[in-house]
């Protein structure tokens, strides 16, 4: 690797910058860029627990009654439920925490993305750790006092802000460290977000079993322990971030020639304030929204869908779903849980696989594959269900979920290709409003269509047929938007003077930190440190994947 140093660049004086400032984390000569992905993974594996928070819903729904929920009376509406201490929270009420997670993720990333680019990933990572883990502490207090508004404030609002800042904190940094492998780099980090629930959900379940008593479900101490563990990991990740000096490039790598414009790789930089008015931004916004809407709608209904479509055949009983007794229903629910676990494995694996493949195919062609192949698979589902082919049914959804995760992991590199790298983190933050929109659109379409078709008297095993057509239609909308994307017009890029001013505000330097600087001396990184960093995040991830495999094995048994 090489570091380019400007002849007139002034040296960096650490005494002028605070510990969390961006100036303090400009990498010294000899820094190994492979230390940055595990730092990003350390944060994403923690905040990825947002996907797994539903593990708390059942224990919390009977926190007072313990053996059975103490139901609220008809006079207790949603707002009364926020403050009541005399009855248990409904699971539907608890689900508002999950909703707030993704609304706040998108909105906070959009609002503070520009600040993050200037403040740097270390400061953003520390704020993310304080918000995410502090939010869990506030939630623990809410559970202890049985005040649901505290849970909404803690995990939903404060934690949601930490979620948004933590999610986008490594994007710009990784893309700048890996200009030769943008997709792979962001795929590694965002893979961690998909894998967070694989670690957090079984960990939370084990902790609740350990702390549970006849009068307490063990949620409060579980929150406290997880907040402490997550804080250590997230702070380690935040303090491990380093940014490359301006002009840095991997040894032997040269930027693509200008003729590569057909691949939509730009050599200019767009300011985040201008993206709202650029057609390409809204086309990518719709591309992400349609891909996520289709996938997220299936994720929420994957378990009941499998049970209602195949019924007793999942356990070798020739009966439809509505004809099963209580024991048989419990048995097929276990099989469906294995199916859900299998989908989560493809979700996380797809994030790394497709994002890495996009470095070879190009981002536009990768999304064409998502939409064409995904649409064909959605349309194939009614046929495989009617034929009773569980193998084809499950295989279709496994590939669909891999492309759902792949869409998240590929889009940061797509943005860097189109809008440049200077403010890609902030632009990605604004794009995540598409995720917040999809989080509402996808589940509403799937749930509404299911209820509507059941109301028409359509058999349960057929209620999803029309839904699959609608989801395939969403992907066709995404396909058209993707095909319309062209290189960004020159008028939208910053001038040299504007770019220089933005780099000044972002504290970019054309010189690395002096190698004898105190804060960097232990970062003259060798192979041993890289191995230790990857082990720190790899061991928990392997444990989570193992636990998920064990759960997925129920499907095959």
| Spatial CB neighbours of 320, under 8 Å, sequence gap ≥ 6 | 311, 312, 459, 460, 461
| Higher-confidence position of 453 and 201 | 201
Q: How would residue 515 be classed by pLDDT, with cut points 50, 70 and 90?
A: very low
- Mapped onto helix, strand or coil, the DSSP state of residue 51 is helix
The pLDDT of residue 521 is above 60: no
Cα separations in angstroms, 315 against 312, 390, 459: 6, 12, 20
Tokens coding 287: 């591309």
Cα separations in angstroms, 543 against 54, 166, 197: 20, 23, 12
What's the CA gap between 75 and 73, in Å, rounded?
5
Tokens coding 143: 């559970």
Question: Nearest CA to 42 among 128, 111, 107, 118?
Answer: 128
What's the CA gap between 515 and 522, in Å, rounded?
10
pLDDT digits (tens, 9 = 90+) for 176-220: 999 999 999 999 889 999 889 899 999 999 999 999 999 999 999
pLDDT digits (tens, 9 = 90+) for 468-514: 898 999 999 999 999 999 999 999 999 989 988 888 887 776 544 44
- Mapped onto helix, strand or coil, the DSSP state of residue 270 is strand
Question: Nearest CA to 36 among 242, 251, 247?
Answer: 242
Q: Which range among 66-70, 215-219, 334-338 has the greatest average pLDDT? A: 215-219
What's the CA gap between 77 and 131, in Å, rounded?
29
**Contact in structure between 27 and 244 (CB atoms under 8 Å):** yes
pLDDT digits (tens, 9 = 90+) for 81-119: 889 888 999 888 888 888 888 888 889 999 999 999 889
- Mapped onto helix, strand or coil, the DSSP state of residue 12 is coil
Print burial letters for 64-74: b (CB count within 10 Å at least 16), e (below 16).
bebeebeebee
pLDDT at 262: 46
Given CA atoms 513, 515, 517, 521 in this order, what sign does their dihedral have? Answer: positive
DSSP designation for 152:
I
Q: Fold match between 32-240+522-551 and 258-494?
A: yes
Tokens coding 477: 């909308």
The pTM score is 0.86
How many CB atoms sit inside 10 A of residue 538's CB?
13
493 bridge partner residues? 270
pLDDT at 269: 93
Cα separations in angstroms, 550 against 71, 90, 337, 339, 377: 35, 30, 11, 11, 27
May I ask the CATH architecture of the domain 32-240+522-551? Up-down Bundle (1.20)
How many CB atoms sit inside 10 A of residue 427's CB?
30
249 bridge partner residues? 2
Cα separations in angstroms, 459 against 175, 443, 453, 462: 49, 21, 8, 5
Q: Where are the domains of the chain?
A: 32-240+522-551, 258-494
For every residue of 300-348, which 3-state class applies, written as one string? HHHHHHHHHHHHHHHHCCCCCHHHCCHHHHHHHHHHHHHHHHHHHHHHH
How many CB atoms sit inside 10 A of residue 99's CB?
16
CATH of domain 258-494: 1.20.1250.20
């Amino acid at each position: 690797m090489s570091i380019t140093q400007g002849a007139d660049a002034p040296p960096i004086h650490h005494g002028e910058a605070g510990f969390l400032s961006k100036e303090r984390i400009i990498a010294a000569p000899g820094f190994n860029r492979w230390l940055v992905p595990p730092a990003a993974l350390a944060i994403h594996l923690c905040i990825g627990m947002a996907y797994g928070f539903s593990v708390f819903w059942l224990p919390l729904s009977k926190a007072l009654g313990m053996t059975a929920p103490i139901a609220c009376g008809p006079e207790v509406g949603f707002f009364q439920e926020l403050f009541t201490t005399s009855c248990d929270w409904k699971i539907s009420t608890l689900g508002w925490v999950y909703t707030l997670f993704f609304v706040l993720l998108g909105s906070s990333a959009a609002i503070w993305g520009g600040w993050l680019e200037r403040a740097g990933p270390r400061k953003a990572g520390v704020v993310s750790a304080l918000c995410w883990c502090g939010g869990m502490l506030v939630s623990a207090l809410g559970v202890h006092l049985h005040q649901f508004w505290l849970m909404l404030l803690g995990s939903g609002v404060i934690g949601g802000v930490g979620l948004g800042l933590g999610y986008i904190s490594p994007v710009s940094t990784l893309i700048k460290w890996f200009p030769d492998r943008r997709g792979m780099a962001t795929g590694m980090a965002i893979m961690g977000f998909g894998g967070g629930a694989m670690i957090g959900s079984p960990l939370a379940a084990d902790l609740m079993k350990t702390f549970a008593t006849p009068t307490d479900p063990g949620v409060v101490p579980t929150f406290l322990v997880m907040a402490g563990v997550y804080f250590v990991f997230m702070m380690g990740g935040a303090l491990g971030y380093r940014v490359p000096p301006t002009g840095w490039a991997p040894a032997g790598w040269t930027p693509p020639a200008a003729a590569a414009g057909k691949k939509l790789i730009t050599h200019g930089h767009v300011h985040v304030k201008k993206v709202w008015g650029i057609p390409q931004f809204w086309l990518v916004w719709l591309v992400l929204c349609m891909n996520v809407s289709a996938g997220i709608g299936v994720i929420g209904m994957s378990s009941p869908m499998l049970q209602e479509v195949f019924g007793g055949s999942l356990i070798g009983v020739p009966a439809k779903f509505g004809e099963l007794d209580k024991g048989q229903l419990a048995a097929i629910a276990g099989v469906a849980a294995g199916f859900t676990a299998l989908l989560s494995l493809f979700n996380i694996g797809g994030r790394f696989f497709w994002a890495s493949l996009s470095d070879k195919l190009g981002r536009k062609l990768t999304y064409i594959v998502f939409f064409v192949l995904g649409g064909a698979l959605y349309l194939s589902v009614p046929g495989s269900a009617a034929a009773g082919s569980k193998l084809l049914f499950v295989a279709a959804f496994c590939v669909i979920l891999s492309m759902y995760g792949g869409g998240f992991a590929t889009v940061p590199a797509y943005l860097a290709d189109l809008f440049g790298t200077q403010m890609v983190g902030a632009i990605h933050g604004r794009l995540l409003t598409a995720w917040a929109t999809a989080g509402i659109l996808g589940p509403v379409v799937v749930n509404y269509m299911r209820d509507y078709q059941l109301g028409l008297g359509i058999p349960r095993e057929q209620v999803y047929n029309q839904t699959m057509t609608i989801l395939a239609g969403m992907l066709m909308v995404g396909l058209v938007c993707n095909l319309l994307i062209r290189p960004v017009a020159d008028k939208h890029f910053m001038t040299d003077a504007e770019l220089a001013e933005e780099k000044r505000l972002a504290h970019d330097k054309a010189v690395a930190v002096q190698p004898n600087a105190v804060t960097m001396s232990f970062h003259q990184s060798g192979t041993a440190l890289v191995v230790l960093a990857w082990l720190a995040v790899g061991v928990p991830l392997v444990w989570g994947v193992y636990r998920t495999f064990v759960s997925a094995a129920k499907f095959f048994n």
